A and B are shown apart, each in its own frame.
Chain A
């Protein structure tokens, strides 16, 4: 499974943009980049995913470097509800054809009021 590297923690102020980086230098050409987050006392939730070009949805934007060795999750205006652990994941396809999410330690985002 391709490995990802994220900072252990980051802090932001409410209403400000947040840029969460992820390095994935061993990414293969077919690996999608997924982001999930886990709010306190909840299961993880999907945030966004992309392959090559930048992606936007109602929750966030994903900026992918041209060489695909890194990506950045962008929260345009952080709110207190965005305080969570954010995981950058490169899902692997197993021999059985199933998809497996391999979670690292993630980045714990603290949002200050």
Chain B
């Protein structure tokens, strides 16, 4: 079974631009969560989507948004990029058919904002 894939793997943008990152979950998984990882703040939860609905959102500004499609693939968008948005963005998928499903992480997208 193919794992979680994320595209692109690396991205360089400039301040003020916007960016869209993509995540394809493991086949059959309906839940996709997004996390941001920085050296200073560590891994922080951004949001989770399940069956095309956002179920929970972390403490990030409204510039961070996401969506999920009917095939469970998910995208996250960051508008008006700031230098502090430079980070590794990870997505994780899970079955979410019972409490405390194991989450499977992708390799991440490394975003650099110049």
Q: Which positions in A face B, CB cutoff 8 Å?
A: 32, 34, 36, 42-46, 49, 87, 91, 93-106
Report if A46-B102 is in contact (Cβ < 8 Å); known contacts: A98-B48, A99-B96, A101-B33. Answer: yes
25 CB < 8 A contacts A-B: A36-B103, A43-B92, A43-B106, A44-B43, A44-B105, A46-B104, A49-B102, A87-B43, A91-B100, A94-B55, A95-B56, A97-B55, A98-B31, A98-B33, A99-B48, A99-B94, A100-B48, A100-B56, A100-B58, A101-B92, A101-B103, A102-B45, A103-B43, A104-B42, A106-B42
Q: Which positions in B face A, CB cutoff 8 Å?
A: 4, 31, 33, 35, 42-45, 48, 50, 55-56, 58, 90, 92, 94, 96, 99-108
Please report whether the interface of chain A is mostly helix, strand, loop or mixed according to DSSP.
Answer: loop
Chain A nearest CB from B102 CB (Å) reads 4
Chain B nearest CB from A42 CB (Å) reads 6
Q: Give A103 to B35 CA distance when docked, in angstroms.
A: 10
Q: Give A101 to B101 CA distance when docked, in angstroms.
A: 11
Chain A nearest CB from B99 CB (Å) reads 7
Q: Give A104 to B44 CA distance when docked, in angstroms.
A: 9
Partner of B107, one of A42, A87, A93: A42
CB pair A98–B56 under 8 Å, yes or no, is yes
Known: A43-B92, A98-B31, A98-B55. 17 other contacts (CB 8 A): A42-B107, A43-B106, A44-B90, A44-B92, A45-B104, A49-B102, A91-B100, A95-B56, A96-B55, A98-B50, A98-B96, A99-B101, A100-B56, A100-B58, A101-B33, A101-B35, A104-B42
Q: Which residue of A lies closest to B88 (CB)?
A: A43
Chain A nearest CB from B95 CB (Å) reads 11
Which residues from B are CB-within-8-Å of A97?
A: 55
Chain A nearest CB from B54 CB (Å) reads 8
Q: Give A101 to B37 CA distance when docked, in angstroms.
A: 13
Which residues from B are CB-within-8-Å of A96?
A: 48, 55-56
